[in-house]
Amino acid sequence: MRWGAVLVLFLFAALIPPLAGLNENLNPDASSRFQIFLATSALVLALWAISYNLMLGYTGMVSFAHAAYYGVGAYTVALIFKRYHLPILVGLAAAPFAAAAVGVVTGLVAQRAVRLYFSLLTLAISQLLFSLAFTWYDFTGGDNGISVTVPDQLSDYTTLYYFTAAVVGVCLLLMFLLVRSPFGAALLSIRENRQRAAAIGINVKVYELAIYTIASLFAGVAGGLFMLYQQQAYPEMLYWTANAQPVVVSLLGGTGTFLGPAVGAFIYVVLDNAVSKQFPYQFDIILGAIVLGVVLAVPGGISDAPTVFLRLRERFHRGEKAEAAPAESAGEAIRMFDVRKALATDAIQAEEVHPGQTLLQIEHLSRRFGGLRAVEDVSLEVKQGDRHAIIGPNGAGKSTLFNLITGQLKPTSGAVKFDGRDITGKPPHVIARTGIGRAFQITTIFPKLTVRQNLQFAMLAHAGYTVRPFGLASRIFSAEAQELAEAVGLGAWAELPAGQLSHGDQRAIEIAISLALGSKLVLLDEPTAGMSAYETDKAMELVRRLATERHLTLLFCEHDMSVVFSTARTVTVMHQGRVLTEGTPEQIRHDPDVQKVYLGELEQEELGA
């Protein structure tokens, strides 16, 4: 059905010139040249908006500098033709590279910050480039811009339209292949959850810079094509408010689908033309109202309307047999962790282990937050094959210690050695690749991706495939991911968005991601927090079984003492950032100091309550 829609769009694009001619014959007021001109502008806008959506929709970056790269593309074509008297096609070939060059340099600067601050930096970059175009009178023509008379071969409207359509078509195909490739999978995982993306070994900043540059490259093509049909380049193209156009078009058509912005571009051009004729000064108001209405009614954009319609219809039908629904969710809780299934399959074999050797060594590790010593002079050894628990009251420094081990935080002093390598202060994606997997205190998965994709993307990242801008990501490791989902008892939910699963199931996904990464050491930060007693038992049973089957070494911190004593073989007690004592569960259970620490906490809790 989706391919059917693509075919319809393609045919429609191919038939526009003859249709416009037909329209002119029937209705002498309608100029076919003007219709074709509008269609050309819609194609260029579609290309520009889809390139913007590579960032917005696929990576979650909001840039205010994208119009500047579009402008650079247009100026490149105009300057090469007019100042250097080279053929227009030379300019068109150079435009993407000029835009990408400006994109990569300015992108590096913008990347000094993330999220909102990234956006603000792109705004500053945009203003800078605009000012350059505006004031460098001798080179860019200043506020007049540059006008060009396009040579004969391309001055005919229909020829220009087909030429534009061909260039846009090739660009869309390239971008489409890109977003479906393993590289595209890395982008999606960054959009979904930066922290998790880093924890599966993806170098988030490098991928963001890459897509930023690629997006500016295609914006350069769009800008070059704009110059061809408008026959001019002017500084306002680079002005930061110009970015509203691709954003509005993307929102209108839908940021969640590849061709959404193209649909949005077409609607935008038609609207612009229809409304501007009647109300030349009110277009922005009317457009604003329409976009607002679309975003509120169909958050996924107009291209998502059929899905929304289907969902509404389904809801309508389900209303008639509402009785059946609750039973289903009750069954879900009981089938949550199918441990027998977990026993039956063995998707990825861990390497042979040598029990007793030191796998993780922490030496005099400290971390301060201002005056607060969150972790103070902690030394600790985790042996291969061990199940090592860290316990201690709230605020003892357990999560901070984990963050120091996996690179989310850098230590003030001390060292962390893993598997014979010094990993002190290394970034999370590097540490993930050395073989340390992690479940965070607050579950950190890719909520909108399916359970299978969560595992599959981790496998892709682990295998180093995410650098590939070609190939179909969905085909690689699909079976392995399914198998692993089954191993943790989630096989039946493999195609559901991970965020829709119960809390306990999401915990299981997080652990399975570590398995997908082939981690030797798995860190679990309060794996059973927020679980019912039943869920806790099942979850820990799964953890123990997986650890045994796959020869994992576990390092976990946990509040629930029954969990600690049923699972741990070694226990380290932390208190106020320091190691209080260490021993077997039996020793710890009878240690008077430990009892004091916990009693102290108990008293406080009682007072608080």
Question: Residues in the site for ligand ADP, rule: CB under 6 A?
Answer: 369, 372, 374, 392, 394-400
Q: Least distance (Å) from ligand ADP to the CB of residue 398? A: 3
459/182 Cα distance (integer angstroms): 10
Choice between 44 and 401, CB closer to ligand ADP: 401
Measured from the CB of residue 485, what is the shortest distance to ligand ADP in angstroms?
Answer: 30
Closest approach, Cβ 202 to ligand ADP, in A, equals 23
Helices (H), 298-423: 305-320, 324-335, 339-344, 398-406
- Residue with smaller CB distance to ligand ADP, 5 or 529: 529
Query: Which residues touch 390 (CB under 8 Å, ≥6 apart)?
Result: 398, 401, 555, 556, 557, 571, 572, 573, 574
Q: Does 399 bind Mg ion (CB under 5 A)?
A: yes
Answer yes or no whether residue 528 interacts with Mg ion by CB under 5 A.
no
Per-residue CA distances from 561 to 1, 329, 391, 588, 595 (Å): 54, 30, 9, 11, 12
- Nearest distance, CB of residue 598 and Mg ion, angstroms: 16
For residue 414, what is the DSSP state? E
Give the integer Cα–Cα distance in Å for 525 and 443.
9
C-beta separation of 351 from 520 below 8 A: yes
Binding at 394: pick from ligand ADP, Mg ion, none (beta carbon under 5-8 Å per type): ligand ADP
Which partner in ligand ADP, Mg ion, none is near 131 (CB below 5 to 8 A by kind)?
none
3 state SS of 362 = strand
Q: Which is nearer to ligand ADP, 252 or 396 (CB)?
A: 396
What secondary structure does DSSP assign to 115-138, as a single string?
HHHHHHHHHHHHHHHHHHHHH-HH
**Least distance in Å: CB of 365 to ligand ADP?**
12
Amino acid at 220: G
Q: Residue 343 and residue 479: Cα distance in Å, rounded? A: 18
List, as own/partner pairs, every contact residues 599-605 make where C-beta atoms lie below 8 angstroms and the sequence separation is at least 24, other chains included.
Answer: 600/393, 601/393, 601/394
**Cβ-count burial of 18 within 10 angstroms (0-12 exposed, 13-18 middle, 19+ buried)?**
exposed
| Total of residues contacting Mg ion (CB under 5 A) | 2
Helix (H) or strand (E) holding 253: helix 244-253
**Looking only at residues 441 through 470 of this chain, which bind Mg ion when binding is defined by CB under 5 A?**
441
Q: Which residue, 319 or 608, is less far from ligand ADP as judged by CB?
A: 608
Q: Which is nearer to ligand ADP, 392 or 518 (CB)?
A: 392
* Pick 488 or 597: Cβ nearer ligand ADP: 597
> Which of ligand ADP, Mg ion, none sits in contact with 147, Cβ below 5 to 8 A by type?
none
CB-closest chain residue to Mg ion:
399
What lies within 8 Å, CB to CB, of 442 at 6+ separation is none
Give the length of the chain: 609
Q: Which one, 361 or 441, has the nearer CB to Mg ion?
A: 441
Which stretch, 9-17, 176-184, 214-222, 395-403, contacts Mg ion (CB under 5 A)? 395-403
> Which of Mg ion, ligand ADP, none is residue 97 near (CB under 5 to 8 Å by kind)?
none
CA dihedral over 78, 272, 254, 68, signed as positive or negative: positive
125 vs 360, beta carbon nearer ligand ADP:
360
Q: Which does 369 bind (CB under 5 to 8 A by kind): Mg ion, ligand ADP, none?
A: ligand ADP
Quick check: 200 and 113 in contact, CB under 8 A? Answer: no
Q: How far is the CB of 97 from Mg ion (least distance, A)?
A: 49
Residue 577 Cβ vs ligand ADP, minimum distance, rounded to whole Å? 7
Residue 233 CB, shortest distance to ligand ADP, in Å, is 48
107 or 397: whose CB is closer to ligand ADP?
Answer: 397
Task: Write out the residues near Mg ion by the rule CB under 5 A.
Answer: 399, 441
